[in-house]
Chain A
Amino acid sequence: MRITCPFCGERELGEFTYLGDAKPQRPSADAGEDAVYDYVYLRDNIAGVMSEHWYHGGGCRAWLKVTRNTLTHEISAVEAAAGAGAAKVGA
């Protein structure tokens, strides 16, 4: 499998580390225990197109949001995480 890193270009799978579903958002500090529990433990088992977090540890150390079809391994989009690179979000 090959992933096109927005910073480094097309690179081989071995340079990347998989984390998992990129959909769940970390709840705010005042969210209750249930919301955090869902965030930590509840995951969809998606057969099809999925947004995933991958880490380019063997390259630029950017966290990426990769849109991948879990049935075919086809990667349709790759974008850098909001805080990847040098820019501060909202600055």
Chain B
Amino acid sequence: MAGDQANRLTSGGLIDRSTALSFRFDGENFLGFKGDTLASALVANGVKLVGRSFKYHRPRGILTAGSEEPNALVELRSGARREPNTKATTAELYEGLEAASQNRWPSLNFDVMSVNQLFAPIFVAGFYYKTFMWPAKFWEAIYEPAIRRAAGLGRAAGVSDPDHYDKAWAHCDVVIVGSGPAGLAAALAAGRSGARVILCEEDFVLGGRLLANGGTIDGLPAAEWVARTVAELEALPDVRIMTRTTLFGVYDGGTYGAIEHVNDHLPVPPEHQVRQRLWRIVARRCVVAAGAIERPIVFAGNDTPGVMMASAMRSYINRYAAAPARRIALFTNNEDGWRTAETAIAAGLQVAAVIDARPDVSPAHRSLASKGGFPVLHGSVSAVDGGKTGVRKISVSLTGGARAEVEADGLAVSGGWNPAVGPTSYHRGRPKWRDDIAAFVPDGVPPGMAAAGAANGAFGLGACLREGFEAGAAAARDAGRSGNIGSMPAADDEIFSITPLWHVAGKGKAFVDQQHDVTASDVELAQREGFQSVEHLKRYTTLGMATDQGKTSNVAGLAIMAAVSGKSIPETGTTIYRPPYVPVAIGAFAGHHRDENFHATRLTPSHHWAAELGAVFVDTGLWKRAQWYPRAGEKDWLESVTREVKAVRSGVGFCDVSTLGKIDVHGPDAGAFLDRVYINAFSSLAVGKGRYGLMLREDGIVYDDGTTSRLAEDHYFLTTTTAKAGLVMQHLEFCRQVLFPELDVQLTSVSDQWAQFSIAGPKTRDLLQEIVDPAEDLSNEGFPFMGAREVKLRGGLKARLFRISFSGEMAFEISVPARHGEAMARNLMIAGEPFGVTPYGTEALGVMRIEKGHVAGPELNGTTTAGDLGLGKMMSTKKDFIGRVMARREALVAPNRQVVVGIKPTDKARRLRSGAHIIPKGETPGPENDQGYVTSVCFSPVLDQWIGLGLVERGRERIGEIVRAHDPLRSEDYDVELCNSVFYDPDGGRQRG
């Protein structure tokens, strides 16, 4: 019955038998213990079938006990927290865990798509390319949806993730990857020397393979040695142990990426806690003690549930006290595999037979076999008889040609060990082949990194401790730590002998990559079809491209390729290793940068006041700006904006323009400096005056514009556009520091220091008189157009006042320290009440600048020259400036360039739209007749019609010409008139008045 843990051994294991946990798998209730993984709990409950395979929908069980698992992938949790492709082998069991098998329909036991196996001949390598090529239109409509249904992994939740993810930095002398014997020994040596150490362990328990293998270290049982060592490490002040943390990437300059599964072992993270945390660890040295991964042998039926890695069986039996089978056969080509037979016997399980591919078996193992009463068969497994209920019978080809059969309900397989060469190869290092252990070991290791223990090909326990300890000591020494490292832990070395065996020829499918259903014959087919390079093999067959990244399959795949192409394994080589070592959720990379926190938000000084008034805000870069201020009864934005514009043009209004970039330019050479970065002169500007300036890129294209005022002989105040504020600062610093270091000038960004308001309209002076100290002369004589100076406000506060106008009205801009910005807005409202003061937003600002023909972002678009904007005459011929030479290039001064011109529909009732193309009357719309386009539009309250600016070929010479505005996106085509771009007050009398 379900939930009885029938396969739980009566004693042993690192599980807490006093804490039973209930969980559900595919709707059925089970019990496990604290300390279980989902996989070990399923093993304990005798569940063998946990999923269906990717392509053929074959029944699959649990192959491994770690993060290399290709088969036992489940959907963990439900609802918004449902997480597909979670490895049952690393998912910690918790009370109430819910998991579902994947890639099966309607149920795991009866899966319709398993008929794919009958069509197996067409599902060979490259079958997508070969099968679904024709007819082309079938792809989107039929093939792709069908393939996606049939061959998928788990389903994403489909709704927003309710949990939080964090990102953090850590700095240390030595980061150690893995807490097996090598990792713990490295941590001991480095920690004792006084180094700041971070030890990352992906498991929730420290000890690595010691947890499954046991052994004796310093005369102590392994578990006791681990406990003693961990206690010593925890007592060291600068050693930080991070469990549930996988180091997944190695980056430049000693930066490492790690993912910490902070709360994945709980149903829901506790309040105010994150589910996962992405670490960037900066370390002077790194010791990779990530161990090795046992590799399968490829034979027919090697994917039958109940076939399991020999080391995984030891994990389940020793660590979890869960028996994967009652009568176990072992298929090995090396000495280490035998430990599973020893473990099984010690646990009271039956060993059916050991099938050893090597010619010789050690006398110790011979006597183990005779004592255990099981045969040792020299040969290899050629077939497995079984199905979704597991292994039943195993066929063996004996050396010499005879055959034998073994009855068993589980088959342990050991094909040798592959050092985990991922982290050591992430800087394009190519692992090198070692014949003695028949495995690739690290080579071309990134700077500052060293591999130790099994990760370095040292498989013996004594060697792991030695290498780890020495690597830890060396890393600490390199990081400048020289404390006493004490004595090295010691243990005996096991003998490791291996006779390489990759593939046993036989009838039936023999899987290399179980997650992607790549068989040995697919590899052979790839070779026949010319895809011999391992990189081609990978992409053609998809070998190693699943979420497990081929941890159990890559080496076998390339070894089979080597054999069929007649090359050696080192000649065949490995594919490039790339991070991440394990899948990392996108949410972890995003951290808190999601939704409204996707980027920083900047608020203008008057933001809260504007919000009180009910302003509608618009995002401009990081800023939130008041777009318009709706009033009760207004039916749409256009009505509000039109009201605001009329109020300014007839009375007075104000607008927060603090988002403009503001830079203080100081120094005796400030004027000379500005002469070089602007096309027009600033050294000649009188103190107390401002001037509009235009900046080019060095290639002659317009970069930015703004007003710059001279507040003192050696002090200018420069403004930039909102969008380019940061970039202009960077550009000016480049000019100052790199191009013109001889100039004595300093730049200070003061964008955030000043709140700036534009006050515009014929009653501006009336309003300002109420704000500014009565002693200040604001008359046309005392403060003429383009004047700029510091003034005293009523109450004594100092402010900067600039007589500049973007709206075309009589206008000032006033700057006060940012902390007074909100008070300024409130004061303007109070003082302006008698004059009907109207706050206006960016939309009205835009309307008035278009009416006035001022260029802005849509015209300063990175393709226009000063001449295109009608500002060519500003280019000084008396000085050098950035962009001067390139701006004179033939094509940039060609007479047929598209230049800024005013545009208005001939039908006054028609709405003009941005983006409409300008086509001459009578011509067919198309690229050959395209003469430009509409860049900016608005409804002009002054003209009572829609107007716009555009970039039109020879536009300024064609004032009065009727052309077509062709808008294929909106299916519109109408006549417009090209006109002067200054629609309002062309002689500028209002702003000077």
Q: How far is the CB of B865 from chain A (nearest CB, A)?
A: 15
Chain B residue with the shortest CB-CB distance to A61:
B733
CA distance A86 to B743 in the complex (A): 11
Of B248-256, B459-467, B549-557, which stretch is located at the interface? B248-256
Is residue A77 within 8 Å, beta carbon to beta carbon, of the partner chain?
A: no
Q: Which of A17, A33, A83 has the most CB of B within 10 A?
A: A83
B880 touches A62 (CB 8 A): no
A81 touches B880 (CB 8 A): no
> Which of A2, A84, A90 interacts with B252 by CB under 8 Å?
A2
Chain B residue with the shortest CB-CB distance to A63:
B737
A81 touches B738 (CB 8 A): yes
CA distance A1 to B282 in the complex (A): 10
Is residue B373 within 8 Å, beta carbon to beta carbon, of the partner chain?
A: no
B447 touches A74 (CB 8 A): yes
Residues of B within 8 A of A63 (CB): 733-734, 737-738
Is residue B888 within 8 Å, beta carbon to beta carbon, of the partner chain?
A: yes
Number of A-B contacts (CB under 8 A): 76
Is residue B496 within 8 Å, beta carbon to beta carbon, of the partner chain?
A: no
A81 touches B251 (CB 8 A): no
CA distance A63 to B735 in the complex (A): 10
CA distance A2 to B254 in the complex (A): 8
A55 touches B741 (CB 8 A): no
Residues of A within 8 A of B734 (CB): 19, 53, 55, 63
Interface flags for B844-885 (1: CB within 8 Å of A; 0: not) read 000000000000000000000000000000000000100001
Residues of A within 8 A of B729 (CB): 61
A57 touches B730 (CB 8 A): yes
> Which of A13, A37, A80, A91 interacts with B886 by CB under 8 Å?
A37
Is residue B228 within 8 Å, beta carbon to beta carbon, of the partner chain?
A: no
> Which of A1, A41, A55 interacts with B251 by CB under 8 Å?
A1
Q: How far is the CB of B993 from chain A (nearest CB, A)?
A: 41
Known contacts A1-B252, A2-B255; decide if A81 and B885 are in contact (CB<8 Å): no
Residues of A within 8 A of B427 (CB): 72
Known contacts A36-B885, A74-B447, A89-B741; decide if A83 and B736 are in contact (CB<8 Å): yes
Interface residues of A in 23-48 (CB under 8 A from B): 26, 29, 31, 33, 36-37, 39-41
Chain B residue with the shortest CB-CB distance to A3:
B253
Q: How far is the CB of B694 from chain A (nearest CB, A)?
A: 19
A83 touches B740 (CB 8 A): yes
Interface flags for B704-748 (1: CB within 8 Å of A; 0: not) read 000000000000000000000010011001101111111110100
Chain B residue with the shortest CB-CB distance to A53:
B738
> Which of B739, B744, B889 interacts with A91 by CB under 8 Å?
B744
Interface residues of B in 666-709 (CB under 8 A from A): 698-699
Residues of A within 8 A of B738 (CB): 53, 63, 81-83
Known contacts A33-B889, A36-B885, A55-B733; decide if A88 and B742 are in contact (CB<8 Å): yes
Chain B residue with the shortest CB-CB distance to A4:
B253
Q: How far is the CB of B175 from chain A (nearest CB, A)?
A: 15
Known contacts A63-B734, A89-B741; decide if A73 and B698 are in contact (CB<8 Å): no
Q: How far is the CB of A11 from chain B (nearest CB, A)?
A: 10
Chain B residue with the shortest CB-CB distance to A71:
B428
B253 touches A81 (CB 8 A): no
CA distance A80 to B282 in the complex (A): 24
Chain B residue with the shortest CB-CB distance to A31:
B885
A81 touches B730 (CB 8 A): no
B888 touches A33 (CB 8 A): yes
CA distance A63 to B282 in the complex (A): 24
Residues of A within 8 A of B888 (CB): 33
B737 touches A1 (CB 8 A): no
Is residue A75 within 8 Å, beta carbon to beta carbon, of the partner chain?
A: yes
Known contacts A84-B737, A89-B742, A90-B742; decide if A73 and B252 are in contact (CB<8 Å): yes
Chain A residue with the shortest CB-CB distance to B251:
A1
Interface residues of B in 409-449 (CB under 8 A from A): 427, 447
Q: How far is the CB of B279 from chain A (nearest CB, A)?
A: 13
Q: Which of A29, A33, A88 has the most CB of B within 10 A?
A: A88
Q: How far is the CB of A62 from chain B (nearest CB, A)?
A: 7
B885 touches A75 (CB 8 A): no
Known contacts A82-B738, A83-B740, A86-B746; decide if A40 and B699 are in contact (CB<8 Å): yes
Residues of B within 8 A of A62 (CB): 737
Residues of B within 8 A of A2 (CB): 252-255, 282
Q: Which of B252, B730, B885, B889 has the most CB of A within 10 A?
A: B885
CA distance A37 to B892 in the complex (A): 14
Q: Which of B254, B743, B880 has the most CB of A within 10 A?
A: B880
Residues of A within 8 A of B880 (CB): 29
CA distance A19 to B885 in the complex (A): 21
A17 touches B698 (CB 8 A): no
B726 touches A83 (CB 8 A): no
CA distance A11 to B861 in the complex (A): 34
Residues of A within 8 A of B739 (CB): 26
Interface flags for B636-678 (1: CB within 8 Å of A; 0: not) read 0000000000000000000000000000000000000000000
Residues of B within 8 A of A33 (CB): 885-886, 888-889
Residues of A within 8 A of B726 (CB): 57
Residues of A within 8 A of B251 (CB): 1
B744 touches A40 (CB 8 A): no
Residues of A within 8 A of B698 (CB): 26, 36, 39-40
CA distance A81 to B738 in the complex (A): 6
Residues of A within 8 A of B733 (CB): 55, 61, 63
Residues of A within 8 A of B253 (CB): 1-2, 13, 73, 75
Interface residues of B in 233-288 (CB under 8 A from A): 251-255, 280, 282
CA distance A33 to B886 in the complex (A): 7
CA distance A31 to B698 in the complex (A): 14
Q: How far is the CB of A38 from chain B (nearest CB, A)?
A: 11
Chain A residue with the shortest CB-CB distance to B740:
A83
Residues of B within 8 A of A81 (CB): 737-738, 741
B741 touches A83 (CB 8 A): yes
CA distance A17 to B252 in the complex (A): 16
B744 touches A88 (CB 8 A): yes
Residues of A within 8 A of B744 (CB): 88, 91
Chain A residue with the shortest CB-CB distance to B749:
A61
Residues of B within 8 A of A83 (CB): 736-738, 740-743
CA distance A79 to B546 in the complex (A): 45
Interface residues of A in 57-78 (CB under 8 A from B): 57, 61-63, 72-75
Residues of A within 8 A of B737 (CB): 62-63, 80-84
CA distance A33 to B698 in the complex (A): 12
Chain B residue with the shortest CB-CB distance to A83:
B741
CA distance A36 to B884 in the complex (A): 10
Q: Which of A57, A62, A86 has the most CB of B within 10 A?
A: A57
Q: How far is the CB of B964 from chain A (nearest CB, A)?
A: 38
Residues of A within 8 A of B254 (CB): 2
Chain A residue with the shortest CB-CB distance to B738:
A81
Q: How far is the CB of A75 from chain B (nearest CB, A)?
A: 7
CA distance A44 to B255 in the complex (A): 29
Q: How far is the CB of A67 from chain B (nearest CB, A)?
A: 14
A17 touches B743 (CB 8 A): no
Known contacts A40-B699, A83-B736; decide if A88 and B255 are in contact (CB<8 Å): no
CA distance A72 to B428 in the complex (A): 10
Chain A residue with the shortest CB-CB distance to B885:
A36
B740 touches A40 (CB 8 A): no
Q: How far is the CB of B401 from chain A (nearest CB, A)?
A: 54
B742 touches A17 (CB 8 A): no
* Further pairs besides A41-B699, A82-B738: 13, Cβ < 8 Å: A2-B253, A2-B254, A2-B282, A33-B886, A36-B885, A40-B699, A40-B886, A53-B734, A73-B253, A83-B743, A88-B741, A88-B744, A90-B742
- B-contacting residues of A (Cβ < 8 Å)? 1-2, 12-13, 17, 19, 26, 29, 31, 33, 36-37, 39-41, 53, 55, 57, 61-63, 72-75, 80-84, 86, 88-91
Q: Can you list 5 pairs linking A and B with CB atoms under 8 Å apart? A: A61-B733, A72-B427, A83-B743, A86-B746, A89-B741
Q: Which 10 A-B pairs have the closest CB atoms?
A: A83-B741, A29-B880, A2-B253, A82-B741, A83-B737, A1-B252, A89-B741, A81-B737, A36-B885, A73-B252
